[in-house]
Amino acid sequence: MDRRIQKMKLIKPKLSFIAQAALMVLLATSIAIAKPVQAESNAALFNYVVKLNSGDSALLESFGTNLEQKFAFSKNPEFANTFSFSSTLTMEEIKQRLAGSFDYLELDRQLQTDAKVTANDPAFTKNSNDKDKQWGLPKAEFLGGWDKTTGDRTVIVAVIDTGIDGTHRDLRKQSFVKGYNFIEDTGISRGSNSDDNGHGTMVAGIIGAVSDNGIGITGGAWDVSLMPIKALNFRGSGSSSNISEAIVWATDNGASVINMSLGGIGFAHETTLSNAISYAFNKNVVIVSAAGNDVAVNGGNINDNPVFPVCADNSQNMIIGVTATDIDDKKPPFANYGKSCVDVSAPGRRILSTINYDPVSGESAPNAYAYGSGTSMAVPYVSAQAVLLRSYFPEATNREIRDRIIATADPIDDLNPTQCGGGSCEGFLGSGRINVEASLQDEVKPYVVDGDVVQLKSTGQLYFINGAKRHLIIPFVKNQRFASAPIKMVSETDVAKFPEGSLAEPLDGTLVKANGESTVYYMQKGLKFPVTGGIFKLYNFSYSNIQTFSPDEVNSWVSGGLLTPPNGLLVRTPKNGTIYWIVDGTLHPINYGFFINRGLNIFPVIYVSDEDMRSFPKGDPYIL
């Protein structure tokens, strides 16, 4: 379905930028600051160690360089036929070529002394107050994190965006894997330029610009593999179905982190998008997305007006939702906030990164750099942090990585007394601004974990720990949902690392309304869906089953779109003859051939209003 968004304004005065989309880029950029060109090799080189089944290394010579036999001094057969070599091929590609002829293959990692890691890139700085350089790296404590790890090229980050300019001089020596262009339905070769907007290249630079090469900037993760996924066109717009496909494709092709510096306002809960997010999360992928800028001067509370995809995780916190902070750890006016969908904050104002298009003129600007502001710029800091965590704790699950990122953030609520709609930001900026060094510290197994129902010894309050947040349990939900759940008695300290989320919601299928208000909602997949009068009758709902809560309680739960008619029904509007078949909560337009061939003509067609029809999620047409 092609839903449109109006003009998006950049934060820098007198600059503007149009983005019309079902999902839009959340970005504000200034003009490019430099356009230096430097000829460099495009291929990333990996160092490997392999133990072959025999001493014949001729096969390695066909794709490897710097070949060297290891342990030649030893007569122990355990170390025989071991070689080191360099290659531009990925590990999976080499394994295919060596199938059946090797015992093991691994990266030949570079070790270092305990000296503090630093970089010689001219825009890099150790000063978190240097607004003209990369202040976000020291502010978020990346420097201390680099003393533990600078990343690992086996960790693949899928950048779902406008593409990436892999020929940019500060990216071309980074490791790339193949990607995909969902706008043109073609593959993206490693290290090519697939970005015709510039936004994806900015995001990629924050994650993994080549570090310590004496030019430009440094990425948050020095060692990483970037996967360009183009799901937004040259205007920075794309459909939710394209984004959904991109998530699944990236998952199936080896991504372990997905960066989505994008989002849309005013959209309904999309089943296809939620299903794609669930698919990736259940495959152990870390998913990071933007809280959004609302294309407005003042950001809004996304509990009231959800942004997708960051709020499309069915209240299971499968997405790490990120809002932006400035150099003083304050929420900028443009950044959205909220308890349900925001998990952490990260630097997102006046962020310097790579770019290949001038955002003012729209003209090509090879090898350029620009300052950007927006929650888009905050997301890749968290993705880079996830890369470091996946590198240092290779056995950690995506849940454990998410929980570490949230639990180790530095609280900043006290620094934001009036930044959220004129009031305090307490609880609305997630657990705080990320702290990379703290997240990489070893720790003992926590006493309180996801899935626990806990009760504070001091106050008696009950919480459900879910998605690394604590959700207050009101009496009705306790009796309905947690009546038989074991309760763990805890102290304030035991749950201090879990930021407060929305209230624990009632079970799916519960009808709820706020006291003094007429709108009835249907709870489903952790969201509340408004129910129109016509839909209420179609489901044969009963007014006696509606549960009434306070407005604060109902407003705490994230809204989906209008509840769609029951699955299997055929619907149309009085003015438009197009018939839709409802499958899995999505309306699919059908043609006459499909209508007859599937025997649907024996069923009645239900009429719905034009206004309701516009609000229902639409899927691909079914035609014959």
Distance, CA of 475 to CA of 483 (rounded, Å): 10
Walk across the sheet containing 487-490 and list its strands.
469-472, 462-466, 453-456, 487-490
* E-only strand ranges, 39-150: 46-52, 65-70, 82-87, 102-107
Distance, CA of 110 to CA of 330 (rounded, Å): 38
CA 187 to each of CA 184, 226, 273: distance values in angstroms, whole numbers, following the listed order: 9, 15, 22
Closest C-alpha to 485, from 451, 453, 455, 450? 453
CA 113 to each of CA 57, 148, 465, 569: distance values in angstroms, whole numbers, following the listed order: 32, 11, 40, 67
Exposure string (b/e) for 293-317, b if CB count within 10 Å is 16 or more?
bbbeeebbbbbebbbbbbbbbbbeb
Active site residue 542: no
Closest C-alpha to 211, from 201, 203, 202, 220? 220
Determine which one of 30, 376, 431, 556 is catalytic: 376
CA 281 to each of CA 96, 289, 450: distance values in angstroms, whole numbers, following the listed order: 27, 13, 15
Active site residue 471: no
Give me the DSSP letters along 335-350: --B-TTT--EEEE-SS
Residue 88 CB: number of other CB atoms within 10 A?
17
Active site residue 376: yes
Distance, CA of 149 to CA of 513 (rounded, Å): 50
Exposure string (b/e) for 21-47, b if CB count within 10 Å is 16 or more?
bbbbbbbbbbebeeeeeeeeeeebebe
CA 398 to each of CA 319, 395, 403, 404: distance values in angstroms, whole numbers, following the listed order: 10, 10, 8, 10
- The answer to whether 334 and 326 have CB atoms below 8 angstroms apart is no
Q: For residue 290, what are the β-bridge partners?
A: 322
Determine which one of 152, 161, 294, 329 is catalytic: 161
Determine which one of 199, 240, 244, 256 is catalytic: 199
H helices present in 354-487, as ranges = 375-392, 398-407, 436-439, 475-481
Distance, CA of 27 to CA of 523 (rounded, Å): 33
CA 103 to each of CA 78, 80, 91, 394, 451: distance values in angstroms, whole numbers, following the listed order: 11, 11, 14, 21, 41
The size of the chain, in residues, is: 624
Give CA angle at 372 (368, 378), nearest 5°.
120
SS (H, E, C) 553-619: HHHHCCECCCCCCCCCCEEECCCCCCEEEEECCEEEEECHHHHHHCCHHHCCEEECCHHHHHHCCEC
Closest C-alpha to 230, from 252, 197, 279, 264? 197
Return the active site residues.
Answer: 161, 199, 376
